[in-house]
Amino acid sequence: MEQKPSILIDRLAQEFHKHFGHPPDFIVSAPGRVNLIGEHTDYNDGFVFPVAIDKYLHIAARKRSDDQVHLHALDMNEACTFNLGTIEDAKTPPWGNYLRGVAHFLQEQVLRKSGHTLNGISAVIAGNVPISAGLSSSAALEVASALAFLGVCGLEIANTGINSNSEIELIQLPPMELAALCQRAENEFAGVNCGIMDQSISLLGKADHALFLDCRSLEYKQIPLNLTDILLVICNTNVKRELASSEYNKRRAECEKGVEILQQWMPTITSLRDVTLADFKKYEAELPQITQKRCRYVVEENTRVQSAIDALAAKEINTFGKLMNASHTGLRDAYEVSCDELNILTDIAQSIDGVIGARMTGAGFGGCTVNLVYQDAVEELQDRVMKEYPRRTGIEPDIYICNVGDGARIKWNSYG
């Protein structure tokens, strides 16, 4: 049974004391995320619409008197130690590279400019964001570690409401710069060519709001969801996403090829973000069939994101659900990043009264579906998924019932 957040945090503080011999100075919490609509649009300079979920990665931390970083991952029972003066990639443990990268780029890009030096840190890490489920446990780790490293330096980014300590020094670091720093750590130290969405929502999430993010300008807006009597139900296929990385690179290349061809008629475009649906219909016949399918999906998905925001503003939640369903159809048929298991979960959900919308979320070829579900239909969805999915696939699924939660937070001085 999953531990309640307060129990998990209390346990984390106790384990920190047990491991290091004194209480932590503070605990950072950063959430996982799920994307409601706007999939595979980020690397095409498009729009995404994620939410933070109320599942968190927590780091209990305390400042050290040296430049050592001593980490203990409670859930994995693994330790990692490195020196801030000589930060290098390391193969073991793999999760340590996320923190190495964050520490490196904080020092290089932020602290030296402001006249600060990165301090050593002792930390214990634990959480309830499912790992390898496509819910961005890695981004949560990056954001939490960035705030922890800043915290032991007595620093916090201004105007975010992240901190509960009024005495800490604020530095003028725009939140999206910190998100980009965390993204760079994942790209260059963990070797994962992710976009900026995951780190952004983990940092900027707000309860009962989704984040409308423009992946070109990095402008963002908090959009109220008003999900009264509605829950997020995330269904995990428990299929390893073995094709996701290679197929991701192929889709990216296919989109770039489409832009290159379309520039013959629209020379000012630099990405599919610049192509309207009307313009695309004029020239789509000039594209090779596969390229045409990929580009059509991206152009349509950007339009769906904007339509989804309009639907929320008009309080037309059923329209929002239909757009989610259409997104899955596009991912399945045109972009071809779904799989049988994702389609089965989506088909089950879409057949149930009270399920507003259902789609795959994330890179695809496994991972999770996201479902907007009225509370009185959640039990039926759970029952049918737990019965029908194993019968049709031979795999036991996992189901996570979530609310839309807040982004990263720091709680100080209550663990001694």
Q: Given this model, what pLDDT does residue 7 score? A: 80
pLDDT digits (tens, 9 = 90+) for 105-132: 999 988 888 788 899 999 999 999 988 8
pLDDT exceeds cutoff 80 at 3: no
What is the spatial distance between Cα 41 and Cα 47, in angstroms, rounded to a whole number? 6
Q: Mean pLDDT throughout 65-76?
A: 95
Q: How many CB atoms lie within 10 A of CB 388?
A: 16
**What is 154-197 written as a DSSP string?**
TEEESSS--BS-TTSEEE---HHHHHHHHHHHHHHTS-----SH
pLDDT exceeds cutoff 90 at 309: yes
What is the spatial distance between Cα 146 and Cα 160, in angstroms, rounded to a whole number? 14
What is the spatial distance between Cα 60 and Cα 72, in angstroms, rounded to a whole number? 10
pLDDT digits (tens, 9 = 90+) for 210-221: 999 999 999 999
Determine if the pTM surpasses 0.95.
Answer: no
Return the structure tokens found at 264: 């013959």
What is the spatial distance between Cα 199 and Cα 211, in angstroms, rounded to a whole number? 12
Name the active-site residue from 25, 45, 54, 198.
198
Residue 316 carries which DSSP code?
-
Confidence band, pLDDT 50/70/90 cuts, at residue 416:
very low
Q: At 287, is the secondary structure helix, strand, or coil?
A: coil
Confidence band, pLDDT 50/70/90 cuts, at residue 170:
low
- Whether 376 sits among the annotated catalytic residues: the reply is no
**What's the distance, CA 261 to chain centroid?**
32
The structural domains of the chain, ordered by start, are 5-224+405-412 (3.30.230.10), 230-402 (3.30.70.890)
Q: Indicate the residue type of 146.
A: A
Q: Given this model, what pLDDT does residue 412 score? A: 83
Non-local CB neighbours of 247 within 8 Å, separated by 6+ positions: 337, 364, 365
